[in-house]
Structure 1
Amino acid sequence: MTSTMTGTVDPANAAQAQAWDGAEGEYWAAHAGAFERAVAGYDPPLFAAAAIRPGDHVLDVGCGTGATTREAARRAEPGSATGIDLSGAMIEVAQRAGGANVRYVQGDAQVHPFRTGEFDIVLSRTGAMFFGDPQAAFANLARATRPGGRAVLLVWQGLAHNPWLAEITHALAAGRDLPAPPEGAPGPFGLADPVRIRDLLGGAGYTRVEIADVREPLNFGPDPDTAHAFVAGLLRWMVAELDPSTRARALADLHAMLAAHHTSRGVELDSAAWLVTATTES
């Protein structure tokens, strides 16, 4: 499946748009259920912090295939929820799920021309770490939020607190020294530093920034074979350039690692996130 970006993409987000509106986004769209299951443990604290009320208008940033958008819409009824994402493939999946008080936008939340004060709550589950210019992005989101409205963000803590990624990377390394995703750059650890979070949100016009440590296991599937197929497909680029025998060894190491984490609930690896809440100036 291919799709075309609608609306403007900030040049700072061009690489993210290429990935999410390309093969990476297509993989997420095709495996939406697996991705939702992986992070489902974070939904209760996220929505508790959001405290969505009937009649609210919610913006879901990096909405993916729309599960969080639909849940926000259900809680906000007779209000509404809008999901925005760079990925056309994921937006298509979200749109097929329907919902009377839900709409989706394929676009770049960093520069999208939302109406001023359009939303009561800006919500994002692991989507706010990828902005090329987070200061501009949060300023745009703050402008789109009514005075006294809220932002509620779930973002990953640093690699040292997320063994799920460290163990997967180690298993697929096959003896290579693979660099970790950098903290503070667009990517999974773009908002890993609480000091940076406070500076960015404060500079964008948010007040009362609160950051809570939340930890839940990520579930990669009901059994090692299912988890292995899911992770190996997602991270196939990590072994694409290896010779066949080395690639086979790396994939076998991945399977062994996932099997070691098989529990009665499925294959689970530990993770840690920051749950960030902030208020726009009233």
Structure 2
Amino acid sequence: MAAPVDPSNVEQLRAWDGNQGDLWTARAERFDEGVAGYQRKLLDAAEIDRASKVLDIGCGSGQTARDAARRAADGSVLGVDLSSRMIELARELAAREELSNVAFEQVDAQVHDFPEAHFDVAVSRHGVMFFGDPLAAFRNIARAVRPGGRLALLTWQPVERIEWIVAFRTLLTGEVPKPPSSGPNPWSLSDPDVVRELLTAAGFADVQLAGLAEPMYFGRDVDDACDFVTDQHASLLDDLTADEKARAIADLRANLAEHQTERGVYYDSAAWLVEARRS
């Protein structure tokens, strides 16, 4: 990776430019399908117009950046992520969709030298919870957004409100998940007070959080969903004996069957839609 990475994000780089990024690249379509219920609400909150300059932080395979590019037809979109494989896929998909106003770069948004006061909007779909130094990261993002520009984020609510993660972790490990109390993790921005304090200190104003609840898609049927879930959570099965693994997967399949609908396998989830304005 040619661009600089802050020392506090080296472990995240190792994960997202390694096995984690490989998984998310291979399963990009399924991950996008999973959170599709949140997508329009995030983009509407961003208030992207035809001439907007948009920054997508933690863009992954680029679904949000590409959707933003369609809204900003006369503007531009930059998607950034630590994963080289996801950035490569994002570029391929943008080219396939003939979107010439979107670009992707593998950078650490915490320290990258974005042009100052350049972007009208910064967005992120579950991509800003993993910074080693969140305050430094959001200060850097704020510096890149023009005064009065907008910030629109999706972050997860507390883990106990997210049915799928509680179910899968409990079924595969026998223990109710307990997220880390600090450091980069999917729930690091699940406390509204923490989010308000962080963004205000970073240079944003009018910070608002709205609770959203959307069902998440995991597969067309039990077989499809089980294949995806065990792939996503493979590390939880690594230390189990063959008998323990067989029992855990059998329990998982039974639970997936209880969530089968005519449209596929769905579980409840809960996220915060975070909106703010650059001071």
Q: Give the TM-score range, shorter chain.
A: over 0.9
Structure-1 residue corresponding to 2:80? 84
Q: TM-score, normalised by structure 2?
A: 0.96
1:94-128: per-residue Cα shift (whole Å, max 9, x none)? 01112200100101111111010111000000001
Taking the TM superposition and a 5 Å limit, the aligned residue runs for 1:111-126 are: 111-126=111-126
Moved more, 177-186 or 260-269: 177-186
SS at match of 1:189: coil
Structure-1 residue corresponding to 2:148? 148
Contact 1:158/1:183 (CA < 8 Å) preserved in 2? no
Aligned counterparts of 1:111 and 1:256: Cα–Cα separation in 2: 46
Q: State the Cα RMSD in Å.
A: 1.0
Aligned counterparts of 2:177 and 2:48: Cα–Cα separation in 1: 39
Structure-2 residue corresponding to 1:21? 17
Structure-1 residue corresponding to 2:208? 210
Structure-1 residue corresponding to 2:62? 66
Contact 2:170/2:177 (CA < 8 Å) preserved in 1? no
Structure-2 residue corresponding to 1:262? 260
Question: Which amino acid is the alignment partner of residue 171 of structure 1?
Answer: L
Q: 1:62/1:121 Cα in 2 relative to 1: closer, same or farther (>3 Å)?
A: same
Cα distance, 1:165 vs structure 2: 0.2
Q: 1:199 aligns with which of 197, 209, 223?
A: 197
Aligned counterparts of 2:220 and 2:181: Cα–Cα separation in 1: 31
Cα distance, 1:67 vs structure 2: 0.8
Question: Which amino acid is the alignment partner of residue 84 of structure 2?
Answer: G
Structure 1: any 5+ residue segments left out of the alignment? Answer: none
Aligned counterparts of 1:39 and 1:181: Cα–Cα separation in 2: 21
- 1:222 and 2:232 matched: no
Question: Which amino acid is the alignment partner of residue 153 of structure 2?
Answer: L
SS at match of 1:94: helix
Aligned counterparts of 2:80 and 2:6: Cα–Cα separation in 1: 15
Q: 2:246 aligns with which of 245, 248, 268?
A: 248
Question: Which amino acid is the alignment partner of residue 256 of structure 2?
Answer: L
Structure-1 residue corresponding to 2:106? 106
Contact 1:183/1:192 (CA < 8 Å) preserved in 2? no
Taking the TM superposition and a 5 Å limit, the aligned residue runs for 1:31-42 are: 31-42=27-38
Contact 1:55/1:78 (CA < 8 Å) preserved in 2? yes
Question: Which amino acid is the alignment partner of residue 139 of structure 1?
Answer: R
Contact 2:169/2:177 (CA < 8 Å) preserved in 1? no
Cα distance, 1:256 vs structure 2: 1.3
Question: Which amino acid is the alignment partner of residue 60 of structure 2?
Answer: G
Aligned counterparts of 1:248 and 1:6: Cα–Cα separation in 2: 44
Aligned counterparts of 2:44 and 2:181: Cα–Cα separation in 1: 27
Structure-1 residue corresponding to 2:237? 239
Q: TM-score, normalised by structure 1?
A: 0.95
Structure-2 residue corresponding to 1:134? 134
Question: Which amino acid is the alignment partner of residue 60 of structure 1?
Answer: D
1:186-220: per-residue Cα shift (whole Å, max 9, x none)? 11101000000000000001000011011101101
Aligned counterparts of 1:171 and 1:130: Cα–Cα separation in 2: 25
Contact 1:184/1:191 (CA < 8 Å) preserved in 2? no
Cα distance, 1:184 vs structure 2: 4.3
Structure-1 residue corresponding to 2:158? 158
**Percentage identity across aligned positions?**
48
Question: Which amino acid is the alignment partner of residue 19 of structure 2?
Answer: A
Aligned counterparts of 1:43 and 1:58: Cα–Cα separation in 2: 16
Aligned counterparts of 1:187 and 1:6: Cα–Cα separation in 2: 25
1:29-78: per-residue Cα shift (whole Å, max 9, x none)? 01111011000000111111011001100000010000110000110111
Instruction: Say how many residue pairs are matched.
Output: 275
Moved more, 6-15 or 268-277: 6-15
SS at match of 1:103: strand
Aligned counterparts of 1:123 and 1:230: Cα–Cα separation in 2: 27
Q: Which consecutive aligned stretches of 4+ in structure 1 deviate over 4 angstroms post-superposition?
A: none
Structure-2 residue corresponding to 1:50? 46
Aligned counterparts of 1:6 and 1:226: Cα–Cα separation in 2: 38
Aligned counterparts of 1:156 and 1:134: Cα–Cα separation in 2: 16
Structure 2: any 5+ residue segments left out of the alignment? Answer: none
Aligned counterparts of 1:275 and 1:166: Cα–Cα separation in 2: 21
Cα distance, 1:181 vs structure 2: 2.1
